[in-house]
């Protein structure tokens, strides 16, 4: 990256304040010096900006937390930056604390410009790495314009900041929303499969039921029982058959005789039938009115029963999955809120600590200045006294 021509920091004639000769925007070489320092020392930039999750995973190492006071890091950066500048070196040694504070203010300004630009890019561009921007696209052109006009260090700082929620909230939210959309699509596909009769046999196999077992289950004594509170067609027919059975049981001596003669013949037993196959002989006395027993009907398997059972089972499974997803989303939202609150607390603590350090440095600087003035005054007095003694000795 070509370096720009440096603006002379030392002015001639009028006296200037520290703010007037520490002009970061006119001296981009200072920022490039900071970038080089951060690139050389991973531990330093991890402590200054907090660690990058992606880089930590690539290098198979734990994430390093910011355990060092920011003011100390700013002092080190100021020492590294301005001692290499021959025009600023002398001025730096006259007021080191102000130069360290200026470094912190400049980094905060860079963060603000970066965050504003990421919000301008929107959800698509903010979540991309620099290498992922397609050359000639609108996002690529916006980044190139931003680098050329205001932020030539974009590639370097984007590599450290693009995963930070406080600096790139849109990009991080975009990644989370994509994951949620994938879950919604998977759930929608599951619901769509309920309304299709295709692939019944494959679904039975996936549920752990063989096709032969599922087909053999139809016609068993409990095959017509409805699920839950719903009354589907098969469950209603089973309820009618049970009601007819209860009416038959109300007849006297219904199961007392092993056979029933109907029209001169014997009823044939029905294997595996839930309805009685042997009926008692009824009296044919003229004083007693004959009551014909209902003709038993074979239970017929409803063709829609297998599909109904499968759909009910799928619905129960999907509701469980949907409940787990809702609980997971709530937990993730709570975790995100806690992280945001913790970030705000850390910011407040950092500001308080920076203010305390600044006050302490200013007091120390003032004390040193007073001591220097006292030393100079004492030296002047000693020189005058010595001169007076020499004059008196000469006389």
CB atoms within 10 A of CB 356: 12
3-state secondary structure at position 261: strand
pTM, two decimals, is: 0.38
Give the mean model confidence (pLDDT) for residues 53-65.
62
Please compute, for residue 350, the number of CA atoms within 13 A of its CA located in the half-sphere on the CB side: 19
Residues 290 and 343 in one domain: no
Answer yes or no: do 346 and 205 share one domain: yes
User: Would 245 be classed as within a structural domain?
Assistant: yes
Domain presence at residue 342: yes
User: Are residues 114 and 151 in contact, defined by beta-carbon separation less than 8 angstroms?
Assistant: yes
* Helices of type H across the chain: 18-21, 28-40, 42-49, 53-58, 70-82, 89-94, 96-126, 138-149, 154-161, 169-194, 200-206, 211-217, 233-249, 305-394
Give the model confidence (pLDDT) of 304-325 as tens digits.
566 666 667 777 778 888 788 8
Distance between CA atoms of 74 and 322, rounded to whole angstroms? 50
Residue 149 in any domain: the answer is: yes
Q: Give the Cα separation of 255 and 277 in Å (integer).
A: 9
Q: Give me the chain's average pLDDT, please.
A: 68
Domain end, chosen from 279, 301, 323, is at 301
> Residue with structure tokens 């809120």?
337
C-beta contacts of 351-354 below 8 A and 24+ residues apart: 353/69, 353/70, 353/71, 354/70, 354/71, 354/104
Q: What is the DSSP letter of 130?
A: G
Measured distance CA(262)–CA(294) in Å, rounded: 11
**For 344-370, what is the mean pLDDT?**
87
Cα 185 to Cα 26: distance, rounded to the nearest angstrom: 52
Per residue in 119-136, is it b (16+ CB within 10 Å) or e — as a string?
Answer: eebeeebbbbeeeebeee
Residues 350 and 335 in one domain: yes
Same domain, yes or no, for 48 and 148? yes
Q: How far apart are CA 308 and CA 324, in angstroms?
A: 24
Interval 100-128: pLDDT, tens: 899 989 988 998 888 888 888 765 555 56
Rounded CA-CA distance 126/161 in Å is 11
Task: Tell me: do 296 and 316 sit in the same domain.
Answer: no
Does residue 186 sit within a domain? Answer: no
Domain count, the chain: 3
Domain that holds residue 330: 196-218+305-395
User: Bigger pLDDT: 129 or 252?
Assistant: 129
Supply the DSSP string of 127-181, one letter for each residue.
T--GGGSPTTSHHHHHHHHHHHHT-TTHHHHHHHHTT-TTT-HHHHHHHHHHHHH
Of 160-164, 230-234, 245-249, least confident by mean pLDDT is 230-234
Q: Are residues 293 and 346 in the same domain?
A: no
Same domain, 36 and 158: yes
What are the structure tokens assigned to 136, written together? 């000639």
Together in a domain, 121 and 204: no
Report how far residue 91's alpha carbon sits from residue 78's, in angstroms, rounded to the nearest whole number. Answer: 12
The pLDDT value recorded for residue 209 is: 45
Going from the C-alpha of 272 to that of each of 71, 92, 296, the distances in angstroms are: 87, 101, 13
Residue 224 lies in a domain: no
Which residues contact residue 75 at a Cβ distance below 8 angstroms, ignoring those fewer than 6 apart?
A: 96, 100
Q: Is residue 223 part of a domain?
A: no
Q: Which of 301, 325, 345 is the last residue of a domain?
A: 301
DSSP state of 226: P
Report pLDDT digits (tens) over 129-181: 666 776 778 888 888 888 888 888 888 888 777 777 666 655 544 444 444 45
175: in domain: no
Across residues 349-359, what is the average pLDDT?
Answer: 87
Same domain, 10 and 102: yes
Instruction: Answer yes or no: do 249 and 154 share one domain.
Output: no
Q: Which two tokens stand for residue 53?
A: 């999750």
Residue with the larger pLDDT of the pair 314 and 329: 329
In a domain, 212, yes or no: yes
Most confident of 12-26, 211-225, 281-295, 335-349: 335-349
Measured between alpha carbons, how far is 344 from 199 in angstroms, rounded to an integer?
A: 54
Residue ending a domain, choose from 301, 322, 338? 301
Hey, which bits of the chain come out as E strands?
261-262, 265-266
Using DSSP's 3-state secondary structure scheme, residue 262 falls into strand
Indicate whether 235 pLDDT > 50. Answer: no
Cβ–Cβ < 8 Å for 102, 77: no
Same domain, 320 and 388: yes
Judge if 256 and 378 occupy the same domain: no
Q: Could you tell me which of 200, 228, 224 has the C-alpha nearest to residue 214?
A: 200
Residue 170 near residue 123 (C-beta atoms within 8 A): yes
pLDDT, average across residues 239-262 = 47
């Amino acid at each position: 990256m070509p370096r720009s021509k440096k603006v002379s920091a030392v002015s001639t004639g009028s006296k200037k304040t520290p703010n007037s000769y520490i002009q970061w925007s006119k001296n981009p070489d200072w920022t490039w010096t900071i970038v080089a320092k951060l690139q050389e020392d991973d531990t330093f930039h991890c402590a200054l900006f907090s660690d990058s999750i992606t880089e930590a995973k690539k290098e198979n190492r734990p994430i390093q937390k910011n355990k060092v006071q920011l003011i100390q890091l700013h002092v080190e950066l100021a020492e590294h930056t301005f001692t290499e500048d021959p025009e600023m070196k002398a001025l730096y040694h006259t007021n080191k604390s102000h130069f360290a504070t200026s470094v912190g203010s400049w980094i905060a300004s860079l963060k603000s410009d970066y965050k504003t630009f990421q919000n301008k890019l929107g959800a698509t561009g903010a979540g991309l790495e620099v290498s992922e921007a397609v050359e000639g696209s609108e996002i690529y052109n916006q980044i190139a314009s931003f680098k050329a006009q205001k932020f030539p260090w974009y590639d370097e700082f984007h590599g450290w900041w693009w995963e930070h929620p406080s600096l790139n909230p849109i990009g991080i939210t975009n990644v989370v929303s994509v994951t949620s959309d994938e879950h919604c699509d998977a759930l929608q596909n599951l619901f769509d499969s309920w309304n299709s009769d295709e692939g019944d046999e494959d679904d039975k196999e996936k549920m752990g039921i063989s096709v032969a077992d599922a087909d053999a289950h139809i016609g068993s004594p409990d095959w017509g029982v409805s699920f839950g509170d719903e009354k589907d067609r098969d469950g209603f027919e089973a309820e009618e058959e049970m009601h007819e059975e209860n009416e038959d049981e109300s007849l006297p001596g219904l199961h007392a005789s092993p056979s029933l003669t109907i029209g001169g013949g014997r009823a044939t037993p029905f294997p595996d039938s839930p309805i009685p196959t042997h009926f008692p002989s009824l009296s044919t006395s003229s004083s007693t009115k004959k009551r014909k027993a209902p003709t038993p009907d074979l239970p017929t398997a409803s063709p829609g029963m297998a599909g109904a059972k499968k759909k009910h089972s799928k619905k129960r499974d999907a509701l469980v999955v949907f409940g787990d997803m809702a609980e997971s989303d709530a937990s993730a939202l709570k975790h995100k809120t806690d992280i945001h609150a913790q970030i705000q607390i850390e910011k407040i603590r950092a500001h308080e600590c920076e203010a305390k350090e600044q006050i302490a440095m200013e007091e120390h600087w003032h004390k040193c200045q007073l001591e220097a003035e006292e030393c100079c005054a004492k030296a002047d007095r000693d020189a005058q006294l010595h001169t007076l003694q020499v004059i008196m000795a000469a006389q």
